[in-house]
Amino acid sequence: MDKKGRPGRRRTLSEQDILDAALALLAEGGADAVTIRGIAARVGVAPNAVYTYFPDKAAVVRGLAEHLLGRVDHDRFADPSQSWRDRIRAFALELRAELLAHPGSVHLMLSHPPDGPHTQAVRETLLAILADAGLGRAAADASYLINTHLLGSVAFEVAAPPDDPEAGTTRFRWAVDRLLDGLAAHVAAVRAERSAPR
């Protein structure tokens, strides 16, 4: 695990190593377990070595959130042969599963909202589906709605897990369906107004 014992320019680390270690710590011990010293120990390096790659802990945490988002395959939901409702449902469930698999990741995303390429890719996939749904100008707001509900929902579930994990999934699915109903109603209303203006 440990690389060397003496200082010097040796390139024993990489940004990926740090993020991988951070992710492992997150999975094992929750958000509190993600510490600079813990990461360093796990990759076998002095704590300060981390600062060669990240300016401070907040940057590591942001990077970790990005890293996590990079693990979800969102291109899979771009296929327009399925209904937009099914696609969003599946997308939401997938993201939820990924977040639930790493306790603390939601907290971390809510306190240090990432904004790297992976984050934007996810956002764009969502926006594309919503555009297909005919939400037009409201697509951005709808995306925001889905996002915030997802994060809030998972955060709450992590903090206060239901007795039966299955029940959590059922409840989440129900909530997403209500959201989709609301969006569908809005689409219908917009369409109606467009065909019979003011």
| Cβ contacts of 32 within 8 Å, gap of 6 or more | 104
Q: Is 151 in the site for a copy of itself (CB under 8 A)?
A: yes
Closer CB to a copy of itself, 177 or 193, in the complex? 177
The minimum distance between CB 75 and a copy of itself, in angstroms, equals 24
Tell me which DSSP letter residue 152 carries: H
| 186 contributes a contact to a copy of itself by CB under 8 A | yes
**CA distances in angstroms from 141 to 147, 158, 177, 186, listed in the order given:** 10, 26, 17, 12
Q: Which of 107, 118, 133, 139 binds a copy of itself (CB under 8 A)?
A: 107
Q: In the numeric block, which tokens belong to residue 27?
A: 């999975």
- DSSP symbol at 6: S
Binding partner of residue 57 among a copy of itself, DNA, none, CB under 5 to 8 Å per kind?
DNA
Q: Is 150 in the site for DNA (CB under 7 A)?
A: no
Nearest-angstrom CA–CA distance, 98 and 91: 11
The footprint of a copy of itself (CB under 8 A) covers 106-107, 110-113, 138, 141-142, 144-145, 147-153, 155-156, 159-160, 171, 174-175, 177-186
